[in-house]
Structure 1
């Protein structure tokens, strides 16, 4: 039985290598996940080992039945019945972690392209929220009662999100004011106009999402926050 298990395990590993399963694992970053977990074995070898131990458990059941060890046979049978749930939980955890990493990288790239300085923080928070959800779901699939953990985590996450939302709202108050003001400024001010606001005079050379840039007579560029053009008297010269 042991020899047959070894041969089948080696055959499965070799077959997976022939169909380039390890290459596919690298593309979905499963290999990186194994490296971070200090698993010094290829994905195909890992599946081969898993198959080996499944077969060995079946051998143990057969040997126990032959020797009349019903208790051992029953317990090993229960273990084999549990293994599919464990395997599904592991696969779900790996795939879920990969998706969470993809979402993190996507948010980081999107926020960087928009010039949002807190993009890294936002992407990290989203990643860990997804990671916690994936972990709890995987544990439930594996048969672990996570009701207490889930209820406590929900309260903690709710408190953290509320505090973060309030802090972010206060910190970004001026930014939001400029963005809203810029929306209305675009209807009144445009590139080429010469304006004067609070003693500052110059020609508009740019109108962006948060400010208006003018160039004075000395060819110095001055950035005026958009909300100042709505809250102060602006003289349009040309």
Structure 2
């Protein structure tokens, strides 16, 4: 009889413990679900406010500059900085509330792993931001070099400016990868050779391009030494009064209007000076 009583007591204790654990787990599940619902509502509000703030700040102009650089070639891939920031904030909030929910459910392993991912996200975001800012600066430098070479009438403006752009873009990419925690040892070990080859190519291209500039400057010096504004000349059948001499051309005022003659034609052809 005592054995039966003991068996009955043990069975009741086991059932009570089982139902207690089920009830405790159900309550934890309800709390965790409540945390996720509250987190979802808070995330919606934060994203709404953030989207409005980013729209007012016009931060997408930086993304437009990156897209204009055609870094990814002629593709449909476009960078939208607002959506990138919103995406990061959204996932950070989701992960934060997932950690809280996992702690409520006492899922320690899941909570720890999500926490590790959450700690890595700011590092990844800073790497992407560094990359975008670097490409923006590289594009600005490319346009400045292209404009300088064009204003000096130097050949190879597009090639040289593109080389400088991609050189800066490569350095920025390596830096961004390091910031993101990617091992770039192989690349950095050979970066000196890459930069040396790049600078040598740039020097050769600049030297070849500057040859035309020096030639034009000498031609201009010759033209200004032998001819003056106000003189009447005849060159290549065009007769008139010199009204301007610049680095690349000579302007005549003829009976029919203005005629712009390249300096090279003035140098290479016979010029008749009228008294």
Same fold (TM over 0.5): yes
The C-alpha deviation readout for 1:134-192, integer Å capped at 9, x for no partner, is 21111121122324213424423432442343244235424322224524653553223
**Conserved 8 A contact 1:212-1:225:** no
Q: CA deviation at 1:15?
A: 0.5
Residue in structure 2 matching 1:8, options 42, 55, 77: 42
Unaligned runs of 5+ in 1: none
Q: Secondary structure at the match of 2:95?
A: helix
Unaligned runs of 5+ in 2: 1-34, 68-75
- Aligned residue number for residue 86 of structure 1: 124
Alignment of 1:31-70 (within 5 A): 36-37=77-78, 42-43=83-84, 45-56=86-97, 58-59=99-100, 62=103, 66-69=106-109
Task: State the distance in 2 between where 1:227 and 1:149 align.
Answer: 53
- Aligned residue number for residue 183 of structure 2: 145
Q: CA deviation at 1:50?
A: 2.8
Greater C-alpha radius of gyration: 2
- Aligned residue number for residue 264 of structure 2: 225
Residue in structure 2 matching 1:21, options 46, 55, 72: 55
- Aligned residue number for residue 159 of structure 1: 197
**Conserved 8 A contact 1:179-1:226:** no
Note the aligned Cα RMSD (angstroms). 4.4
- Aligned residue number for residue 165 of structure 2: 127
Task: State the distance in 2 between where 1:173 and 1:109 align.
Answer: 18
The C-alpha deviation readout for 1:190-233, integer Å capped at 9, x for no partner, is 22335799x9997662422145567899x98754439959xxxx
**Conserved 8 A contact 1:13-1:44:** no
Residue in structure 1 matching 2:230, options 185, 192, 195: 192
Q: Give the TM-score of the pair, scaled to structure 1.
A: 0.68
**Conserved 8 A contact 2:156-2:209:** no
Q: Give the TM-score of the pair, scaled to structure 2.
A: 0.61
Task: State the distance in 1 between where 2:249 and 2:158 align.
Answer: 24
Task: State the distance in 2 between where 1:68 and 1:171 align.
Answer: 66
